[in-house]
Amino acid sequence: MKRIIAGLLAVLFGLTSAAAAENWLVTVERTPVSHFVGNPQASVTLTEYISYTCPHCRDFTVHGEEILKLGYVQTGKLRFEYRHMNANPVDLTATMLARCGAPEKFPANHAALMAAQPQFNALRRLATKSQTDRWHHGDKSARRRAVASDLNLYAILERRGYSRSELDQCLNDQALADRLEAQADADWEKIAGTPAFAVNGTVLEDVHRWQELAPILEGPLPAAAEQ
Protein backbone atom coordinates (compact mmCIF):
# COMPACT_ATOMS: atom_id res chain seq x y z
CA MET A 1 0.00 0.00 0.00
CA LYS A 2 2.80 2.41 0.87
CA ARG A 3 4.42 1.75 -2.48
CA ILE A 4 1.11 2.41 -4.25
CA ILE A 5 0.62 5.70 -2.40
CA ALA A 6 4.22 6.71 -3.09
CA GLY A 7 3.72 5.88 -6.74
CA LEU A 8 0.53 7.95 -6.94
CA LEU A 9 2.23 10.87 -5.22
CA ALA A 10 5.14 10.65 -7.65
CA VAL A 11 2.78 10.69 -10.62
CA LEU A 12 0.82 13.60 -9.14
CA PHE A 13 4.02 15.54 -8.44
CA GLY A 14 5.23 14.85 -11.95
CA LEU A 15 2.00 16.09 -13.49
CA THR A 16 2.03 19.21 -11.33
CA SER A 17 5.66 19.95 -12.16
CA ALA A 18 5.05 19.42 -15.87
CA ALA A 19 2.02 21.69 -15.85
CA ALA A 20 3.96 24.41 -14.05
CA ALA A 21 6.90 24.07 -16.43
CA GLU A 22 4.67 24.23 -19.49
CA ASN A 23 2.85 27.45 -18.61
CA TRP A 24 5.27 29.90 -20.19
CA LEU A 25 2.61 32.62 -20.44
CA VAL A 26 3.68 33.92 -17.04
CA THR A 27 7.26 34.49 -18.23
CA VAL A 28 7.47 38.09 -19.39
CA GLU A 29 10.70 39.90 -20.24
CA ARG A 30 10.92 43.65 -20.83
CA THR A 31 13.49 45.13 -23.20
CA PRO A 32 14.14 48.85 -23.74
CA VAL A 33 11.61 48.83 -26.63
CA SER A 34 9.48 45.67 -26.43
CA HIS A 35 8.17 42.76 -24.36
CA PHE A 36 8.73 39.04 -24.80
CA VAL A 37 6.29 36.44 -23.49
CA GLY A 38 7.30 32.79 -23.33
CA ASN A 39 10.20 30.40 -23.06
CA PRO A 40 13.53 32.25 -23.46
CA GLN A 41 15.03 29.01 -24.84
CA ALA A 42 12.35 28.48 -27.51
CA SER A 43 13.79 27.84 -30.96
CA VAL A 44 11.21 30.14 -32.56
CA THR A 45 10.63 33.81 -31.79
CA LEU A 46 7.63 35.46 -33.39
CA THR A 47 7.65 39.27 -33.45
CA GLU A 48 4.47 41.25 -33.99
CA TYR A 49 4.87 44.85 -35.15
CA ILE A 50 1.81 46.49 -33.67
CA SER A 51 0.06 49.84 -33.40
CA TYR A 52 -2.59 50.61 -30.80
CA THR A 53 -4.64 52.69 -33.23
CA CYS A 54 -4.55 50.05 -36.00
CA PRO A 55 -7.89 48.20 -36.38
CA HIS A 56 -6.21 45.27 -38.16
CA CYS A 57 -3.90 44.90 -35.16
CA ARG A 58 -6.92 44.67 -32.91
CA ASP A 59 -8.39 42.03 -35.22
CA PHE A 60 -5.29 39.91 -34.72
CA THR A 61 -5.44 40.43 -30.95
CA VAL A 62 -9.08 39.31 -30.92
CA HIS A 63 -8.94 36.44 -33.41
CA GLY A 64 -5.41 35.12 -33.26
CA GLU A 65 -3.42 36.08 -30.20
CA GLU A 66 -5.16 33.80 -27.70
CA ILE A 67 -4.88 30.82 -30.05
CA LEU A 68 -1.21 31.62 -30.58
CA LYS A 69 -0.54 31.87 -26.87
CA LEU A 70 -2.38 28.70 -25.88
CA GLY A 71 -1.15 26.60 -28.77
CA TYR A 72 2.45 27.77 -29.05
CA VAL A 73 3.62 30.12 -26.28
CA GLN A 74 2.19 28.38 -23.20
CA THR A 75 3.81 25.07 -24.15
CA GLY A 76 7.24 26.60 -24.72
CA LYS A 77 7.32 26.04 -28.49
CA LEU A 78 7.45 29.73 -29.33
CA ARG A 79 8.40 33.04 -27.77
CA PHE A 80 6.24 36.05 -28.69
CA GLU A 81 7.54 39.61 -28.93
CA TYR A 82 5.37 42.74 -28.95
CA ARG A 83 7.19 45.45 -30.97
CA HIS A 84 5.49 48.84 -31.00
CA MET A 85 5.01 50.93 -34.14
CA ASN A 86 4.24 54.48 -33.08
CA ALA A 87 2.76 56.21 -36.10
CA ASN A 88 1.09 59.04 -34.18
CA PRO A 89 0.92 60.59 -30.67
CA VAL A 90 -1.88 58.24 -29.63
CA ASP A 91 0.19 55.16 -30.43
CA LEU A 92 3.14 56.47 -28.44
CA THR A 93 0.98 57.44 -25.46
CA ALA A 94 -0.79 54.07 -25.39
CA THR A 95 2.52 52.22 -25.67
CA MET A 96 3.99 54.10 -22.72
CA LEU A 97 0.88 53.39 -20.64
CA ALA A 98 0.98 49.70 -21.58
CA ARG A 99 4.56 49.53 -20.28
CA CYS A 100 3.61 51.08 -16.94
CA GLY A 101 4.36 48.95 -13.90
CA ALA A 102 6.13 45.61 -13.63
CA PRO A 103 6.79 43.65 -16.85
CA GLU A 104 4.26 41.01 -15.77
CA LYS A 105 1.50 43.61 -16.00
CA PHE A 106 2.13 44.33 -19.67
CA PRO A 107 0.04 41.56 -21.32
CA ALA A 108 -3.12 42.55 -19.45
CA ASN A 109 -2.44 46.27 -20.00
CA HIS A 110 -2.03 45.53 -23.70
CA ALA A 111 -5.26 43.54 -23.82
CA ALA A 112 -7.20 46.29 -22.03
CA LEU A 113 -6.01 48.95 -24.46
CA MET A 114 -6.78 46.81 -27.49
CA ALA A 115 -10.25 46.02 -26.15
CA ALA A 116 -10.96 49.75 -25.81
CA GLN A 117 -9.51 50.70 -29.20
CA PRO A 118 -12.88 51.30 -30.94
CA GLN A 119 -13.82 53.80 -28.25
CA PHE A 120 -10.60 55.81 -28.21
CA ASN A 121 -10.31 55.71 -32.00
CA ALA A 122 -13.81 57.17 -32.20
CA LEU A 123 -12.83 59.96 -29.81
CA ARG A 124 -9.70 60.53 -31.89
CA ARG A 125 -11.79 61.01 -35.04
CA LEU A 126 -14.04 63.48 -33.20
CA ALA A 127 -11.17 65.48 -31.68
CA THR A 128 -11.29 69.25 -32.04
CA LYS A 129 -8.47 71.33 -33.46
CA SER A 130 -7.63 72.64 -30.01
CA GLN A 131 -7.26 69.06 -28.80
CA THR A 132 -5.04 67.93 -31.67
CA ASP A 133 -2.96 71.07 -31.25
CA ARG A 134 -2.30 70.02 -27.65
CA TRP A 135 -1.20 66.58 -28.89
CA HIS A 136 1.36 67.96 -31.34
CA HIS A 137 2.76 71.13 -29.78
CA GLY A 138 4.40 72.19 -26.54
CA ASP A 139 6.10 70.17 -23.86
CA LYS A 140 6.29 66.53 -24.97
CA SER A 141 5.17 65.05 -21.66
CA ALA A 142 2.22 67.45 -21.58
CA ARG A 143 1.27 66.32 -25.09
CA ARG A 144 1.05 62.71 -23.96
CA ARG A 145 -0.92 63.61 -20.86
CA ALA A 146 -3.36 65.53 -23.07
CA VAL A 147 -3.82 62.50 -25.33
CA ALA A 148 -4.40 60.25 -22.32
CA SER A 149 -6.98 62.66 -20.91
CA ASP A 150 -8.81 63.50 -24.15
CA LEU A 151 -9.13 59.87 -25.27
CA ASN A 152 -9.90 58.36 -21.84
CA LEU A 153 -6.71 56.30 -21.84
CA TYR A 154 -6.16 57.18 -18.19
CA ALA A 155 -9.47 55.55 -17.31
CA ILE A 156 -8.53 52.27 -19.01
CA LEU A 157 -5.42 51.87 -16.86
CA GLU A 158 -7.05 53.27 -13.71
CA ARG A 159 -9.56 50.43 -13.93
CA ARG A 160 -6.55 48.13 -13.74
CA GLY A 161 -5.53 49.63 -10.41
CA TYR A 162 -3.11 52.37 -11.45
CA SER A 163 -3.21 55.85 -9.91
CA ARG A 164 -3.08 58.98 -12.03
CA SER A 165 0.30 59.88 -10.54
CA GLU A 166 1.73 56.47 -11.51
CA LEU A 167 0.49 56.87 -15.07
CA ASP A 168 1.85 60.42 -15.32
CA GLN A 169 5.23 59.22 -14.12
CA CYS A 170 5.25 56.69 -16.97
CA LEU A 171 4.17 59.28 -19.52
CA ASN A 172 6.85 61.71 -18.34
CA ASP A 173 9.68 59.30 -19.23
CA GLN A 174 11.16 61.16 -22.18
CA ALA A 175 14.10 58.77 -22.50
CA LEU A 176 11.63 55.93 -23.04
CA ALA A 177 9.65 57.98 -25.56
CA ASP A 178 12.82 58.72 -27.52
CA ARG A 179 13.81 55.03 -27.56
CA LEU A 180 10.39 53.91 -28.73
CA GLU A 181 10.27 56.49 -31.50
CA ALA A 182 13.79 55.69 -32.69
CA GLN A 183 13.04 51.96 -32.77
CA ALA A 184 9.78 52.52 -34.64
CA ASP A 185 11.57 54.68 -37.21
CA ALA A 186 14.08 51.87 -37.77
CA ASP A 187 11.37 49.21 -37.95
CA TRP A 188 9.34 51.15 -40.52
CA GLU A 189 12.27 50.50 -42.87
CA LYS A 190 11.48 46.76 -42.61
CA ILE A 191 7.69 46.66 -42.88
CA ALA A 192 4.99 48.30 -44.98
CA GLY A 193 2.16 48.36 -42.44
CA THR A 194 0.73 46.88 -39.28
CA PRO A 195 0.32 44.29 -38.09
CA ALA A 196 3.40 42.67 -39.53
CA PHE A 197 5.24 39.60 -38.33
CA ALA A 198 8.79 38.29 -38.25
CA VAL A 199 9.97 34.78 -37.44
CA ASN A 200 13.45 34.63 -35.93
CA GLY A 201 14.11 38.09 -37.33
CA THR A 202 12.87 37.38 -40.87
CA VAL A 203 9.87 39.56 -41.81
CA LEU A 204 7.04 37.54 -43.36
CA GLU A 205 5.85 39.00 -46.65
CA ASP A 206 2.13 39.72 -47.05
CA VAL A 207 1.20 38.20 -43.68
CA HIS A 208 -1.10 40.44 -41.67
CA ARG A 209 -3.83 38.17 -40.30
CA TRP A 210 -4.02 35.03 -38.18
CA GLN A 211 -5.44 33.12 -41.15
CA GLU A 212 -2.22 33.88 -43.04
CA LEU A 213 0.11 33.34 -40.10
CA ALA A 214 -1.26 30.03 -38.79
CA PRO A 215 -0.20 27.80 -41.71
CA ILE A 216 3.29 29.32 -41.67
CA LEU A 217 3.76 28.37 -38.02
CA GLU A 218 2.90 24.78 -38.91
CA GLY A 219 5.56 24.60 -41.65
CA PRO A 220 9.36 24.94 -41.77
CA LEU A 221 10.44 28.20 -40.15
CA PRO A 222 13.55 30.36 -40.64
CA ALA A 223 16.35 29.48 -38.24
CA ALA A 224 17.37 32.00 -35.60
CA ALA A 225 20.21 34.24 -36.70
CA GLU A 226 23.52 33.54 -34.97
CA GLN A 227 24.53 36.16 -32.44
- Cα dihedral: 178, 184, 185, 187 (round 10): 150
Buried b (16+ CB within 10 A) or exposed e, 103-112: eebbbebbbe
List the pLDDT tens digit at each of the 227 positions of the chain.
Answer: 444 434 433 433 443 344 445 689 999 999 999 999 999 999 999 999 999 999 999 999 999 999 999 999 999 999 999 999 998 999 999 999 999 999 999 999 999 999 999 999 999 999 999 999 999 999 999 999 999 999 999 999 999 999 999 999 999 999 999 999 999 999 999 999 999 999 999 999 999 999 999 999 987 766 654 43
Round to whole Å and give the CA distance between 108 and 213: 23
Q: Which domains does the chain carry?
A: 24-218 (3.40.30.10)
Q: How many CA atoms lie within 13 A of 219 on its CB side?
A: 7
